[in-house]
A = this chain, B = another copy of it.
Amino acid sequence: MRILVLGGDGYLGWPTALHLSKRGNEVGIVDSLIRRHYDDEMGVSSLVPIRQLQRRVATWKEVSGLTIQPFIGDLQEYHFVHETLQSFEPDAIVHFAEQRSAPYSMIDREHAVYTQVNNVVGTLNLLYAIAELNPEIHLVKLGTMGEYGAPNIEIEEGFIEITHKGRTDVLPFPKQPGSFYHLSKVHDSHNIMFACRIWGLRSTDLNQGIVYGQQTEETAMHPDLVTRFDYDAVFGTVLNRFAIQAAVGYPLTVYGKGGQTRAMLDIRDTLACVELACLNPPEAGEFRVFNQFTESFSVRQLAEWVQRAAPVEVTVESIPDPRVEKEEHFYQAVTTKLPSLGLHPHLLGDELIVSLVELAMRHRDRVNFEAIRPTVNWRSTKSEVSVTGGSVGE
């Protein structure tokens, strides 16, 4: 297959592109490289140094003999989107190219508006380009389990059968997202569902849990091929962040009671899920939703697990929750579609935690401790996030 990976320079986009390339697909990467700019803006950087996209692609060619074609540009520019699709002629498009941090979207008005416009307009442009050039293209879109929030009923995969006053229908599962970023994904989902209906497009919305881990089979092939590993409170996600905090002797920062339960998965399973989605496209006109996670944990459970498994002394500290969210709640979500397509998950284990902590220890001199504490407060319309001193950069 010919597959374009949008956001292919990012934490998940890059390993996904390598994986799909290795598995025999013709892969192109589209990226505006703005993720690297967010680091500069925040004064932080990936704990593990990463190479520029051009070098990554060149090394991949040397190591694997395979070519990945990069297209550098912004999805908000329609001309660029149209030209890229026209020239690459993809069978499938994997779309990671959105601002993906909840705290970043909650910094202030400018960041909220930026996140929603960037994500929604980029996806609208993509839908129009697909409809105009080739409606057969399968759009594999990264959504998030956070679109559902934490309802008091079991979360289904995108749709729920509701019987009400003696009548029954299958309707989109109600959404209660918890940040302007999560909201942007809900907006996208509604827009994509509509485009499938009116233009007969085919799309898979992958409502992904929180990803942990940093190494995949392909990124391990050469130091130039590693992907990002974020520890800062804006872009670092929970388990990765805990591993790094453990490595540098910083208390694990649990927000509030820590009963927040989240769906999670190993980075290697992200790659497998995306590949399974690509290999099994929906019918023309079909908008389908897969819940993409393998296990659920509360934040407190994760902190205690890291404390138990890490090869170093670890303390846990509860700090006031900067988010507006339930700190204890019911959480149960269905995920049957990806397993039914053949997903064999990598479940969380001590070994993975140890490897993350050890990786972090090798790079501990790159940590700027100022960036660890959350400074973006959901209750405020404007938070100060600048990290004095910055970080070492790449």
Chain A contacts to B: CB under 8 angstroms? 78, 109, 112-113, 116-117, 120-121, 124-125, 128, 131-132, 151-154, 156, 160, 162-165, 167-169, 171-180, 183, 186-187, 190-191, 193-194, 197-199, 324, 330, 378-379, 381-382
Contact = CB atoms under 8 A, between A and B. Distances in A.
Contacts of A178: 194
A164 B168 CA distance: 13
B190 A120 contact: no
Contacts of A173: 174
A169 B153 contact: yes
Contacts of A190: 175, 177, 183, 186-187
A198 B160 contact: no
B174 A172 contact: yes
Contacts of A153: 162-165, 167-169, 171
A164 B333 CA distance: 12
B175 A324 contact: no
Nearest to A112: B124
B167 A330 contact: yes
Contacts of A197: 324
A191 B115 CA distance: 13
Given A154-B164, A162-B174, A172-B174, 19 more contacts: A109-B124, A109-B125, A109-B128, A113-B121, A113-B124, A116-B120, A120-B120, A120-B187, A131-B381, A152-B168, A153-B162, A153-B169, A156-B164, A160-B164, A177-B194, A179-B194, A186-B187, A187-B190, A199-B379
A164 B152 CA distance: 9
Nearest to A147: B190
B160 A154 contact: no
Nearest to A382: B132
Contacts of A175: 172, 190
Contacts of A156: 164
B171 A174 contact: yes
B125 A113 contact: yes
A367 B385 CA distance: 58
**Which 8 A-B pairs give the minimum distances between C-beta atoms?**
A152-B169, A171-B174, A153-B164, A109-B128, A198-B324, A187-B187, A172-B174, A153-B167
A162 B165 contact: no
A128 B111 CA distance: 12
Contacts of A183: 187, 190-191, 194
Contacts of A186: 187, 190
A331 to B, nearest CB: 12
16 contacts: A109-B124, A116-B187, A128-B381, A152-B169, A153-B167, A153-B169, A153-B171, A154-B165, A160-B174, A162-B162, A167-B330, A172-B174, A180-B194, A183-B187, A186-B190, A187-B190
Contact of A154 (B131, B167, B172, B194): B167
A145 to B, nearest CB: 16
